Structure 1
């Protein structure tokens, strides 16, 4: 009888541990299209689970080619977050067959959306070379570079997670509050970091940083919006080089992983520094403070180049 009782007790202990482990493994699976959304989700799920991301580091969110395994992940995730059709043009067809929740964050109430305006650096003969739609009036989908939008996205994720996983609702709410507090401190820190370069203008190869510039009082002088694969005509190159010559000392920023071939041609013999800005934070760890690291690095990289002029 004693042996039976002990065996029963061991069975109860085993089953308790088994069920507890399964409960932990059964956490809500979040999949985001791009790294910045994964970083926001990581702040919301901190201590509970680690969200997944669809695109690998260095992949373009504008024209990524999904693999069969990517499609399966997109179908199986409990919650999926993406920017919207203005950014991930490859996703709508896949998501049309998805039965679970998919959230295009650009459509969330309270989002601050910018729209592209006409730029002297955009030439009509390059329209077919652009990776995605930057026409005047179209939505600027690089919206994650605004901490205002990051707060809206985090709040939506927390609400969705609380509904799907009510046992952890208090933790999600606490995580969002902590995220908001950290973003308050981050905004103040970045404003102080870039205060000395607010009057310095620079050039970019991709008009992706307007939200960040708006938030922290920065402004680029021009956009060399050309494809990394197609070399522009001689007249266009001459016009861009003349623009750089006019400015004298300045910085020209490209995005990793590839620097446009044009960069060295434009800067040769000029007091121009070439540097990188990683708006996607491709290799930023998906931790609770990953989103802050993304914005902080942008500020440091901008200031680091411009301060050295």
Structure 2
């Protein structure tokens, strides 16, 4: 065999073992799960930029082209990304709404909670009415396993040469989640039962996994201020609670936060359910949950 032929054969083998299967996810948490499965083979892309809300994102023409052309697309489902179903109607390649995967453990708003203060109904930026699906399902490690298993199967079918690598990555991901689960249980044990409030009811899956429960929700848009009577009622709720934390989500803190907490023994803090600032890596999903635990426990322990 000539040297040129040998080089061509080597190139073809290299291309075959590193098939470029383009994966696009709607939001960062799904990208982090995909990154764990694709580790060493490819890097998934994400549709929403950091800080964008999956509930009301506006697609640019370049986003629409990306959605139409990518090989595999994963999104939460119509209960989260309401902007996607219309665009996906004309997509011919696989699109997987993970909320519909078999074996997913799904929650609905109002499960396991007493009546909470949800602010003015007209101020909600998406549907959190009791009984509707809570689509923040990625915050339950069990669901991340289910999603990763589907991704590994899809990638193995699209890229058989790397099927063993995808399965090995899936196994490693599961083992890391086992270890993470034990770390988080130990980290959060000291704050179980401590009251705290949130501006966005996004954490129920995480709370259910680790024995936590928020005491109330102030679900209002950053630019919508409820009436004075309602603000007074919310302040009275915080005052009756005593020292506590109120968590908002980056990048914006609701204007209401300062009004609600002024003069009260309340700490304002953030919890990022989307992990917008995290680098994309095989360990990114574990970092997302680990950061949530640190943000929550760090504030409550400092009271």
Q: Is the 8 A contact 1:197 1:303 kept in 2?
A: yes
User: How many Å apart are 1:41 and its aligned residue?
Assistant: 0.4
Structure 2 residue 32 is the aligned partner of structure 1 residue 39 = yes
TM value normalised by structure 2: 0.96
The aligned residue for residue 122 of structure 1 is 118
Distance 1:129 1:198 in 2: 30
Q: Which runs of 5+ in 1 are unaligned?
A: 1-7
1:248 aligns with 2:242: yes
> Is the CA contact (8 Å cut-off) linking 1:44 and 1:176 kept in structure 2?
yes
Q: Mapping of 1:50-69 within 5 angstroms?
A: 50-69=43-62
Report how far residue 16 of structure 1 moved.
3.0
Counterpart of 1:180? 174
Three-state SS of the structure 2 residue aligned to 1:300 is helix
1:215-265, Cα deviation, whole Å (9 max, x unpaired): 001110000011112111111111111111111100000000000000011
Secondary structure of the structure 2 residue equivalent to 1:226 = coil
> Could you tell me which of 278, 289, 294 is aligned with 1:295?
289
- Secondary structure of residue in 2 paired with 1:266: helix
Q: Does 1:16 align with 2:9?
A: yes
- Of 13, 17, 23 in structure 2, the residue corresponding to residue 30 of structure 1 is 23
Q: Give the equivalent residue in structure 2 for 1:107.
A: 100
Please state if 1:83 is matched with 2:79.
Answer: no
In 1, distance between residues paired with 2:300 and 2:20? 45
In the alignment, the residues of structure 2 paired with residue 20 and residue 232 of structure 1 have an alpha-carbon distance, to the nearest angstrom, of 63
Match for residue 211 of structure 2 among 211, 217, 220: 217
Query: 1:23 and 1:203 mapped to 2: Cα distance?
Result: 52
1:25, distance to aligned residue in structure 2 (A): 6.3
For 1:185 and 1:202, the matched residues in 2 are separated by 27
SS of equivalent to 1:227 = coil
Paired residues of 1:62 and 1:131 also in contact (CA < 8 A): yes
Rounded Cα–Cα distance in structure 1 between residues aligned with 2:10 and 2:255: 58
RMSD: 1.3
Q: Which runs of 5+ in 2 are unaligned?
A: none
Q: TM-score, normalised by structure 1?
A: 0.94
- Find the aligned partners of 1:222 and 1:206 in 2 and give their Cα distance: 10
The one-character-per-residue Cα deviations of 1:152-177 (angstroms, maximum 9, x if unpaired) are 00000011111111111111111111
Q: C-alpha distance in 1, partners of 2:282/2:121?
A: 39
Q: Deviations along 1:40-84, whole A, 9 cap, x unmatched?
A: 000001110011100001000000011111111111111000000
The yes-or-no answer on 1:191 pairing with 2:191 is no
Instruction: Note the C-alpha offset of 1:26.
Output: 3.8
Q: Tell me the secondary structure at the aligned position of residue 130 of structure 2.
A: coil
Deviates more, 1:133-142 or 1:14-23: 14-23
Point out the structure with max Rg over C-alpha.
Answer: 1
Secondary structure at 1:231 match in 2: coil
| 2:240 paired with 1:281 | no
Aligned length: 300
Paired position in structure 1 for 2:221: 227
CA distance, structure 2, for counterparts of residue 175 and residue 141 of structure 1 = 26
* CA distance, structure 2, for counterparts of residue 261 and residue 24 of structure 1: 52
| Residue of 140, 145, 150 corresponding to 2:144 | 150
Do the aligned partners of 1:119 and 1:223 also contact (CA within 8 Å) in 2? no
